[in-house]
Amino acid sequence: MKIELKRKARLLRTQGRSYKEILKEIPVSKSTINAWVKDIELSAAQKEKLYITNKQKNGERLGKLNKKKKEKEKEAISLLAKKEYSEKKNSILFNCGLMLYWAEGDKSTSTEAVKFSNSDPVMIKFMMTWFKDICEVEKNKFRIMLHIHELHNKEFLEKYWSNITGVPLTQFHKTQIKKSTLKFKKKPLYQGTCSIRIFNRNTFRKIMTWQKMFNKLINI
């Protein structure tokens, strides 16, 4: 019986089969398989095929582990956000900021980045307070991107929005300048659009959970 199993194991190995594949067909221990086939030298093509197959399987395994890890992280953040919502739901600052983010904030789950854009300096200043006091975002985590027209003074507006947000120019992304065929500004008071950006998945997930909790409260 064992002689037949050994012959079959050696045949499978010469075909370039892995130990794991051989064990599926032959009910013995891995050490026994190793003893039976260790003298068989695989060809370069067979080795490459086994290497690629193992790499793919390892990639799939790591992918599944990472997916489970992300799901656990999301679940933990969701539970924390629900607890925080219960604590903050009676705060005017909390609810006002949540509504403004609902209206003007980025809700894309593909990037999971917090982005809020507006041209009203008062609103931008308010949202900076909301992000710092309610979302507990540290000052060095903020990034700012400006969208202005060609007619604007770039340096002036960068300093202007830096003062409004309290974010240093070193944390500004490259200002986006839109070309214009006009020779003068239609809206003299328009100072461009300021986009507050926070690249933190957990902050984004908390805001989205708060939004769901609020929608549930008002039956939406």
pLDDT number for residue 91 = 95
Distance, in Å, from the CA atom of 199 to the CA atom of 170, rounded to the nearest integer, reads: 16
CA dihedral 47, 51, 57, 59 (to 10 degrees): -170
Cβ contacts of 30 within 8 Å, gap of 6 or more: 19, 23
* φ, ψ for residue 134, nearest 5 deg: -90, -45
Asked if residues 29 and 20 have their Cβ atoms less than 8 Å apart, the reply is no
pLDDT along the chain (220 residues), means of 10: 79 82 84 84 81 78 78 89 94 96 93 96 98 97 94 90 97 91 58 96 96 85
- How many CA within 13 A on the CB side of residue 190? 14
Asked if residues 201 and 74 have their Cβ atoms less than 8 Å apart, the reply is no
Instruction: For 48-100, write each residue's pLDDT tens digit.
Output: 887 777 777 777 777 777 878 778 888 999 999 999 999 999 999 999 999 99
Asked if residues 114 and 203 have their Cβ atoms less than 8 Å apart, the reply is yes
How far apart, in Å, are the Cα atoms of 29 and each of 24, 25, 110?
11, 12, 46
Distance, in Å, from the CA atom of 193 to the CA atom of 196, rounded to the nearest integer, reads: 10
Asked if residues 148 and 158 have their Cβ atoms less than 8 Å apart, the reply is no
* pTM score above 0.75: no
How far apart, in Å, are the Cα atoms of 189 and each of 32, 33, 42, 128, 201?
83, 80, 76, 21, 35
